[in-house]
Amino acid sequence: MGGMELVWGMGDSKKKPGPPPANENPDSGPSLTGDLLSHEELEALSTLQLVDLIAGKLPPRHTSLMDLIYLRDRIVALEEMNDQARQALEKLDEIVEKLRSPAFRIGTFLLPVDNDKAHVCLGGTDYVCRVDPKIPLASLQVGQRVLCNEAFAVVQGLGFDRNGPIVRIDELLSDGRLRIGQEAGANSLVLLRSALLAKEKLKSGMEVRLDVNQRVALEVIGMGRRVERALETVSELPWSAIGGQTEAVQAIRDTIELPFLHRELFQRFNHTVPKGFLLHGPPGCGKTLLGKATAYNLRQQLKTQTGVDHPEFFLHVKGPEILNMWVGESERQVRDLFNQCRERARDGALAFLFIDEAESILGTRRSGRFNSILSTLVPMFCTEMDGIEPLQNVVVILASNRADLIDPAILRPGRIDRKIRVKRPDQAGAQAIYEIYLPETLPLAEPRADLARVITEAHFARTPANQFLEIVFRSGKKDFLYRGDLASGAIIAAVVERAKSLAIKRAIETSRETFITRDDLLLALQREYGENDLFPPTDVTEDWLKLTDFDPENVIKLGPVRPVKRDSSTGGMV
């Protein structure tokens, strides 16, 4: 029965409203518009609230209640749909507004001006911009990126830029600003330091990264290509650790140590202090070792006499490392090498610039495209040696196997005016070197003096087995060079290392305590010269002349001695 009343009520609600039934009183309660609420209060109510008020005026079992429930559900669905549509429209309006709004600009914060103003560089142009009150002006740092709106007001602080051009510092100004150099034909610039570099110790020659507006230095990149150089800490290397070079050691001490240790005497006699010296001689004879020993012993001598310890700075550069295909890059690296040594010397260090294989970059200048780099490197080197800024406490050492290929302008008096010959060791010098490489700390089968004497005699024996090179002079005379004539510190060190490996291998095979014997040394000597690793692999005379002291004009042929083969059938030599 109740279900039929509900269907009837719902069906009846679709009919047009008519007069109320006779048994119902049309004035059963007060009306909303007239009695209960004012017009303004009605306008403040939602549709659902109005429906709920109307339902509350009807009797509990009024036939229109079900119609109002149905109407209320429809209104709820419509309002939910309207809310969704309204939210979608608001999002769309927001997106359209963002797309139509002008772009923000990114600038570089330079300085605060007032409590609410800032000096900002935008696109290379300076502006005094307002700062959003929400942003504390003290939170902005020099060099930081800032976001500016269409009215050029700072609305947000960003981080520091991670990109930008790289330049080199030419000079440090007294107020902390930096003067940088530009490429040829362009003007120099003066820059501010960013907050990141406010307390950084900068030096001339350093490379720094700028902001995109090129107004502030943001980051230290390095010292150009200096990081690729072999900056070595000189180990303890007294003169006694170098054998077979007595004359060269004495010449170096007279050239370098005396001007430093007796400076007042040189000033009294107005004697010019040498700026550097050339070590020339065959490869493997200790030129690099002599350079390092110079740095160490000069420091020790100064410490002993003056009581002041000056740390040494040994910059070891191989000549071919400086060569570069880009125009002006090789010259820049030469300039950087000298600048780096001067900087360390000003800091109180003993700076040594050691250039190995100097003939590769300081060779004789010739016309032609191939030698265009040498034509500019040699003048650059001479300019640095004769520069306005003196080379105080800086020693320049050149090392070369072919001193005759170095340009004469480099070796003239006033530049590299000392030429020190590094000869091959004689028999006594070779024995001293063997004793250095065979210390008592090694497991030796005999006293090291006896082992060194035995291996040295075998090394310098004038026997047919030791014949190494055959020489044919222009006069027709023939002669032989023996193994001892081509001895060097590098070969002696290699022989000792081979003997150590033989002893180690024997200890592994026998599982017993093993010592380095004279047989190990003699076998190592035979294998070292047999494999011929330290000598040219060809018979080209020019290659072998580099290892000897013979005049190339007097030698027709110079090549290795070939082993003699015997015919087993006849017993004769083939």
Would you state the structure tokens that stand for residue 499, as one six-digit string? 């003997």
Same domain? 417 vs 468: no
Query: Average pLDDT for residues 360-386, to the nearest whole number?
Result: 72
Residue 570 lies in a domain: no
Report the range out of 9-23, 284-298, 422-436 with the highest average pLDDT: 422-436
Domain range spanning residue 396?
230-421
**What value does the mean pLDDT of the chain take?**
80
The pLDDT value given to residue 40: 80
Query: pLDDT for 225-267, tens place per residue?
Result: 444 454 556 778 888 888 888 888 998 888 888 888 888 888 8
Task: Give the residue-averaged pLDDT of 558-572.
Answer: 56
Q: Where are the extended beta strands (E) located within 276-319?
A: 276-280, 312-318
**Whether residue 9 has pLDDT greater than 70:** no
Residue 196 has pLDDT above 60, yes or no: yes
Do 48 and 54 touch, CB atoms closer than 8 A?
no
- Whether residue 163 has pLDDT greater than 50: yes
Share of the chain above pLDDT 90, in %: 18
Total domains, the chain: 5
Residues 6+ apart with CB under 8 A from 335: 380, 384
What is the reported pLDDT for 180?
85
Question: Residues 349, 237: one domain?
Answer: yes
- Total-model pTM: 0.62
Give the CATH number for residue 146. Answer: 2.40.50.140
Does residue 568 belong to any structural domain of this protein? no
How far is CA 498 from its chain centroid? 37
How many other CB atoms are found less than 10 A from the CB of residue 547?
A: 21
pLDDT band at 538 (very low <50, low <70, confident <90, very high): low
Same domain, 391 and 529: no
Per-residue pLDDT band at 572 (split at 50, 70, 90): very low
Domain annotation covers residue 571: no
CA distance 523 to 502: 9
Backbone angles phi, psi at 565, to 5 degrees: -100, 140
Model confidence at 30, pLDDT cuts 50, 70, 90, reads: low
Q: Which residues of 313-323 are buried (b: 16+ CB within 10 A; e: fewer)?
A: bbbbbbbebbe
Beta partners for 507? Answer: none
The Cα 168–Cα 333 span in angstroms is 13
In a domain, 129, yes or no: yes
Q: pLDDT digits over 303-346, tens only?
A: 888 777 788 788 888 878 777 766 677 887 888 888 888 888 88
Residue by residue, DSSP assigns 399-449 as EES-GGGB-TTTSSTTSEEEEEE-PPP-HHHHHHHHHHHS-TTS-BSS-HH
Which helix (H) or strand (E) segment holds residue 355: the answer is: strand 350-356
User: How do strand 145-148 and strand 178-181 relate by DSSP bridges?
Assistant: unpaired
Residue 261 shares a structural domain with residue 363: yes
3-state SS of the chain: helix, strand, coil percent to 5? 40, 20, 40
The bridge status of strand 178-181 relative to strand 154-157 is: unpaired
Residue 374 and residue 371: Cα distance in Å, rounded?
5
Q: What is the DSSP letter of 203?
A: -
Q: Does residue 334 sit in helix, strand or coil?
A: helix
Question: Could you count the other beta carbons within 10 Å of the beta carbon of residue 220?
Answer: 17
Task: Write out pLDDT tens, residues 44-98.
Answer: 888 888 888 888 777 877 878 888 888 888 888 888 998 999 999 999 988 888 7
pLDDT value, residue 438:
93
Whether 569 is covered by a domain: the verdict is no
Do 257 and 373 lie in one domain? The reply is yes
303 and 411 co-located in one domain: yes
- Of 175-179, 265-269, 386-390, 410-414, the poorest mean pLDDT is in 386-390
Q: Which residue has the tokens 């403040």?
A: 44
User: What is the rounded distance in angstroms from the CA atom of residue 186 to the CA atom of residue 564?
Assistant: 71
Same domain, 296 and 370: yes
What is the CATH classification number for the domain harbouring 471? Answer: 1.10.8.60
Residue 571 neighbours by CB under 8 Å, 6+ apart: none
Kindly indicate the confidence band of residue 223, based on its pLDDT and cuts at 50, 70 and 90.
low
